[in-house]
Amino acid sequence: MNDLAGKHFVLGLSGGIACYKAAELCRALIKEGATVQVVMTEAAEQFITPVTMQALSGRKVYGSQWDSREPNNMPHINLSREADAIVIAPCSADFMAKLLHGRADELLSLMCLARPIDKVPLLLAPAMNREMWAHPATQRNMAQLDADGAHILGVGTGFQACGETGDGRMLEPPELLQDIIAFFQPKLLRGKQVLVTAGPTFEAIDPVRGITNLSSGKMGFAIARAAREAGAEVTLVAGPVSLPTPRGVTRIDVKSAREMLEATQPHAQRADVFIATAAVADWRPASHSERKIKKDGSGETPDLAFTENPDILATIAQLPRAKSGALFCVGFAAESHDLVANAQAKRARKGVPLLVGNIGPATFGAEDNALLLVDEKGTRDMPRAPKLELARALVAEIARRLP
């Protein structure tokens, strides 16, 4: 997927050691299909050379408002009109203050001031020392820039070049890339709270063994990311998987089905949408050994009894909020055969308005999937595609069905 295909960015660099990260961000934007025009302040050139940024962007770097390459001598007009967005990364405390007051004494600030506000958004990636970040003046400036329509991408926390540790680091390029991609996604769920379960559950037999399944959690994590991109506040209850948490998503890690239900129930009381993608174990061992069950060479196998796990989707779907329509519930069915019949039967059994079916063995661990949407009117196929692409399409489908 090229999430930024056809987009053109002006990538502005103000002075700061985080300029080295701008090189990776430039490359990442281009890999996502965008074109990038770099504009640097004089201070930025003290940290990274225009030659480096020219090599990465494939375009000559601009630094002066008097650049003679522009026939009309107006690079601040020409470059801003061509852009889908201006991204300032890094954006120093000084440059934030300059933007706040509308100062325009060099090309980059002049271009930000001259851009058509309603057509060319301004995205800022602050980068500074922790004390500079926490200073009331910086916080006031940031609040006013936000009120003026700039989009603040936030900061990271950790070790800083000055030797101190705290907030104020520029976000890492992969984080910035996700935030930039999310910025351009339609905000179909703005103001909504979405609850997602994802991954397998693990039902312990003894301290080292248990019953689980092959679910990787990738589909559920993609849905959580897509819902967050769509403007929702997202809580992700995840079984034992090793996937990174999507940007801006609150994650709760659990192991067993009972733990997943316990974590899910309180959030379902205030969510607008519940999407149950987790592959929850239907049964668990009736008893759990406190010590590893050892074989003794006799050839005898342990006598395991099983008991049924709680049905998380059906439990949440029976809540008064779900029955009244205040909570829209979406189930998932991972089948090995007879997908249409099994998915239709599961939707009726669980009592949910929408159920999404797929063939589990064909998708567990894969980067793509094919889905079947099942509701009271019938079924509809979503052809095989990358999981994130399907997740965005599913989120759009859910948004259309909300009251």
Calculated CA dihedral for residues 374, 379, 385, 391, nearest 10 degrees? -30
Break the chain into its structural domains and give their ranges. 8-183, 193-283+308-401
Q: What is the largest CA-CA distance in the chain?
A: 91
The tokens of 86 are what? 């201006």
Q: Could you name the CATH architecture of 8-183? A: 3-Layer(aba) Sandwich (3.40)
The tokens of 179 are what? 């935030």
The tokens of 211 are what? 């019953």
Do the Cβ atoms of 353 and 328 come closer than 8 Å?
yes
Q: What is the CA radius of gyration of the chain?
A: 26
**Domain spanning 193-283+308-401: CATH 3.40.50.10300:** yes
**Strand residue runs (E) in 212-327:** 233-238, 250-253, 273-276, 283-285, 306-308
Question: Which DSSP state fits 241?
Answer: -
Angle between helices 75-82 and 107-114 (to 10 degrees): 60
Do the Cβ atoms of 373 and 379 come closer than 8 Å?
yes
Residue type, 179: D
Residue 111: CB atoms within 10 Å: 26
**pLDDT tens, position by position, for the chain (403 residues)?**
799 999 999 999 999 999 999 999 999 999 999 999 999 999 999 999 999 999 999 999 999 998 888 888 898 998 999 999 999 999 999 999 999 999 999 999 999 999 999 999 999 999 999 999 999 999 999 999 999 999 999 999 999 999 999 999 999 999 999 999 999 999 999 999 999 999 999 999 999 999 999 999 999 999 999 999 999 999 999 999 999 999 999 999 999 999 999 999 999 999 999 999 999 999 999 998 899 988 888 878 888 899 999 999 999 999 999 999 999 999 999 888 899 999 999 999 999 999 999 887 788 889 999 999 999 999 999 999 999 999 999 999 999 999 8
Q: Do domains 8-183 and 193-283+308-401 have the same CATH topology?
A: yes
Catalytic positions, please?
162
The tokens of 228 are what? 């967050």
The tokens of 402 are what? 């909300």
The tokens of 218 are what? 């990738």
Residue 289: CB atoms within 10 Å: 15
Single pTM value for the model: 0.91
